[in-house]
Structure 1
Amino acid sequence: MTRIWLRKMIWSYLPIFFIMFSFLFFVFFQTLVEQNNRNTKESSKVFAGQLLQTVDVSLKTLDTMMIRELVSSKLLNDFFLEKGSDNVFLNYQVVNRMLQLQQEMSIIDSYYLVRYKDGIVFSGTTTKLNDFEDNAFIRSQRYSKESNSSSWSAIRPYRELVAQKPKNVISLVHKVSVGPGADGLVVVNVRASSLRNIIKEMYDPQQAFVQLYDREGKSLFNQGEASETGKVLASLASPYSGWTVESGIVNGKMVSVISNLSSIWLVLGLIIFLAGGVSIVYITRKNYKPIEELVFRIQDQFGSGKPTLGRLAVDEFTFIETAINNFAEQTKLFRKEAEASAARKQNAIFRELLQFESGAQAAAGDLSALPQHDKQRVFVIEIDHPEQVFNQYKSRDQSLFKFVISSAAHELFTQHDIPIWLEWTTQLQMTGILFMPDTSTEKADSICEHITAWIHQHLAFSVTIGLGEAAAEGAGASNKQALEALTFKAALGHNRVIHYGESQQGASAKATNKHLQAIHRLIQQFRLHEENWRESFDAMFSGMRSCCLPKSEIDELCRYFVAHMDLQLSQASKDYYEVWMSEAAVDLRQIIDDFETLDELQSLFSVVLQSFADKMGRMYSSRLHHQLLQNIRGYIGQHYANPDLSLEYLGDKFGISAKYISQLFKEEFGENFLDYLSQLRIAEAKKRLLEERDSIQEVGEHVGYLNAATFRRVFRKVEGISPVDFRKRHAM
């Protein structure tokens, strides 16, 4: 009977059901549109806040780093207290420090230091203030009386040289006052394109748009880089930088049109509903009871704290739909929060294990699922040549490659019954903890070799693995060893496994003084135009390779070589120095910044130095008195022990004035005659002091010093100690 009644009601009131269904459809569509608009606006506001926070964090980090540098760095204080540009070593130290800051903060594009007392601008090279291209900005900052809450300038064009194309930057300006008359500025420029790249990685330009304005209303994006056809949904201003960000969706106008159309549909549905309302009031009131009971049951389930519905407040079906949607959204949100919390907890425990050298399991006591093991061993996989290969891929492809690497490593170890825990600890490094029995040490070594070979064969790049020693308690010591082993990658090579013990064996043979001697010997041969400089060049790199130096020490030695060549050639012929500074020095510093392995560094250095040596040789051979000076130098080398040897003696011997010989000798060989003669004599004297039993007087007479006091004075000037102390110190 109930079925018959239900069937008759459905067939009798089918038109009424159709009208009601149409109206409810319009209401439901309107609700979805409004909810979507609210969600879109809220998402845009959150996104704008995150974007602005990202920009502020980058700028604040750089600002804090520069403040700390100004407060604690004695180097910058010395620079502003210095006068003139003759202190080459100080300038070299300042350049080194600023390059280190640029490496720490990749958004730094350029910098310069302004010293008011002598009108010097230093940006790696020294320039007079009036000749510096950014002179107008410096004067505006110097005489500005405005007090802004931010040390950052607005977006502005900047170029250091006339020939350069201006680029848009924002500048961090800090005024410096380290004493009376020692005022100046430190200006650090951040290229606007760097900030644009940071921002562009945070959104899809096909779906959303972003506009970022500085304090003066200038847009960070160039024309055509950001869409202006969308609807602005959120606008926020930064209290730190004073910048304003606007964000929205590209198809905002379309959303507005749909929203207006839905309102029209709602009105039409309401008219239809009113037209049929008279005929359905009675039936609705009679058959409404089950629906009403269902609504109240749902309302009771939500709790007394939720808003009550009432009999005529809203459409009941909409209420039911909204309740279901809210329940589904809350369930999804709770699930995401639980997954994120579990991932954060797992990562924190992993890093905690890597920090403790003993008692790691006690510190991470909630890890009851750790596999049974006797020892823990850590290896670190680092991607080789990231700038040339890996970073050329998009973020999605990089994530895929990382997944392939972790999957391959996990599978190879689990195949040999070695439990493993893997996490990407940096952008380019994946760390793995092995939970090993005592019998698996050699097996782990071979698996790591297999991993490097497999990745090199199947992927477009290679990796290097740093492998620590197995530890009975905690993975902290093994993790430090693995990271330290990777620092020797430059000397030992890429696409291999570097054991901690192997790196330590090489490190024990370090001899910094020998490396410096090899550098000085190479520079001396260049300065004297000797053709066998390549032997000293190969010996210098062979010494670094045999000592298994880490990349940081190789970097420092090579920078010392370039800086010392700058100094030595600046005292030689002006033509040689100009060629060195304009061509060779710039290329060598760039090679030092970019090299990955010692073999690569040696090969690139060889090309640049060979080119410079060829140009020096052509210039050297073209000089008018080249052959004459070669003869004079050869004569000095044979007769240096003659006590009568002097410029006047050589002038009489070769038929040229002593003054002219002195001038040509200085231009050709980069040092004066007396210094060159002293070095030859003292070199022979050192041999005789160590090999013969002659007295100090006899040694001096043998090398051309008849007066023992003169010999001792010259020896101390060249070597820094007296002949007697030299013999005692180096006696076997």
Structure 2
Amino acid sequence: MKGATFTPVFRKFIISYLIVLLLPNISGYFTYRAAIDAALSSSIENSRILLNQSKEILETRLKEVETFTKQLAINQDLTKLVSEKMTGDTYNVYGLWKMSRDISNYNRTNDFLQNFYIYLKNYNVVITPESVFFRPEHFYVGNHYEDLSFTQWEESILKSTHEFVSFPLQAYTRGNVQTSVITFVQSLPLNSFNNPKATVVVTIDEQKIRHLLESMSSHNGGWAFITNPNGSTMVSQGIEQSEIKKLFHVPSGQAGDQERIENGMLLISIKSGTTGWLYTAGIPEKSIKEKADQIKYATWIFTAVTLIVGLLIIVLLAYRNSAPITQLISVFKELSGLEPLSSKNEYVFLAGNISKLITNNKQLEAELDKQLPLLRDAFIKRLLAGEFLSLQEIEAVSLQTGIKLNAENGYVGLIKINGYSRMDSEEIIHELSLARLAIKPLLSETELKLLLTDWGSDKIAFLYLLGEGEVIGENSRFEQQLLQLTESAYSQYRMTISIAIGGSYQTLRDISKSFDEAQQAMDAVYTGEKRISWYKETVSESAMYYYPIDTQQRLLNTLKAGEIDEGLRILDQVFSRNFSGRELSYEMKQQFISELKGTLLKLLDQKPFQDEKFSETVKHQIAQVQPMDDVDQLRVSFVLIMKEICNVIAKKKNDYNNETIYAIKLHVENEYTNSDLSIYQIVESVKRPEKFISHLFKEQTGENLSDYLERVRIDKATVLLMENQRTIDEIAVMVGYNSGHSFRRAFKRVKGVSPTVFRQTSD
């Protein structure tokens, strides 16, 4: 240590280390005061991380469930089954069996999909991965909610429209096992509004979701639960429902309101932006204080150990750190010609190589300058390909390459060397390379300032930035310069070239769009006919009408169902696509109008239009529509025809529905005394599908068919009770009930009082 012990650097290190050793004693008190806050923050953060991890895992699994329902929505086999019409009692047994087999593999990747089923409205069947239930009642026997009757389950789950709706935790029976489930329901097809054709129902056992919250319940003896936006508990772990209801100050989960202490528990909540669910975890406050005490003891022990050990190593550290610095100072003194070196160490090597590092750095800068043209070319290629994600990124790379993009509007073009249809030999590729090299000097001779890059073997792409107030087009300076380029290429090298120019871009982000348009314009160039091709010219020459087959079928089905509003919306969409912002040639307009007329004529040949007089009248109206009419007149003509067609359909449907409702009520009136009378038998009397009849009756009368049957029986029973000539059990049998007990329950459900009380109060 001799020689470096008493140097000024050594003494400064001694003083510095002494100050550092004293700081723990001074800061110990403040550390203790901050320990509780630090422990609280740590616990909150750790718990929030655990809670957020559980939320993300759960939402990912639920997203897979939602994706599964969407996959079913585009499943061709299921779409076919949903669209089929059931003829009498004939089922597509093979199709239903195949669908059951096909969906049996979904639950292997996500245990949330272990229990799901699909309800088909047209067949009134329930499909599961294990079987097909041709009567929903049979499925309901082994799979039902404890608080929902069959009718309630059928109406609220199977027949209602759902857009991936979640139902809170409910008691559920699966086979002989009692459990609780969360239910997710999706109607098919997607966005089916009030007319779903199928329903996908996924039931997830509470234990499967509760498992994701175990990390919170086992963390510091806490608990966790999840509630939906309505405040209903979806699932809980480590806490009972009764205890959850006692919590009055649960955080909202929004920013600034995610943690709170209540009754000795730290409450942390996170609200999901996807589902709107609130994830809440509780941590005992005492566990937080235990961590604070641990930090306090660790702080004082660390302080004492630091003092003792620090005093022992302070001298060694001061020497080891001061000696190299002293030597480095000596090196700089020697380089400056002051004092000679007396000893060496590793810093001498470092000092000796500083000049080499500077030299190498200059050589590296020179190499980068050589690579600058390649970087500029790569920048232009990326700009044309649209690979930049933001304007800031474009500006940053522009500064690095030295390319100044002063203007934000301009044009992108392509120069193609003609006469090379095949480029499969090295000789042709080499020849094209020489041709490109010959064209570039010709471009530099023009007055145009272009950014150039090779594009493929036979093309050169260029970017032209417009000057202030400059406009280019036919006979402009820009076009004249390009025409001069084509003439120079031919006169000097006997080379023919074609030039294609895209549309104008208004921002740097639209350069790639203009380049794509230039490529489309180049594809439309006929070699030898045009030397310069503008994108706007090729678009106007190739306009085709828009009326795809799926739109035709959608319009046909919509009008056949009498849905005039949707039909008019489709018509407006088609007219807008064909006549707004584009101009069809007369031939294209004629073909489009003929296609649209053909759609309406197809509709008149179908079953609802057996009235020959009406059909001939509408056909005559369709024939009167002529392509030479203006667009507004054409739209008005088609609207009037479509409304007339839909009015006829609506009237036929209304008449038939009224007859059906009357037949149902008459059958109930005649057969209500039959205890075996069921909805199925009522439906059989009118020869229509059960689901259709149930929906129609509800729509026309405002009540369910089963409720109507029950009301008729109870009304008849009310008259008999007021006569007071028969016992309650006798009346029960007379109005169609098998037992007095079931009659009493039904009577109280409808009238609000028991039959006995009603009889007593009516006397």
Give TM-score, length-normalised by structure 1.
Answer: 0.29
Q: TM-score, normalised by structure 2?
A: 0.28
User: Which of structures 1 and 2 has the bigger CA Rg?
Assistant: 2
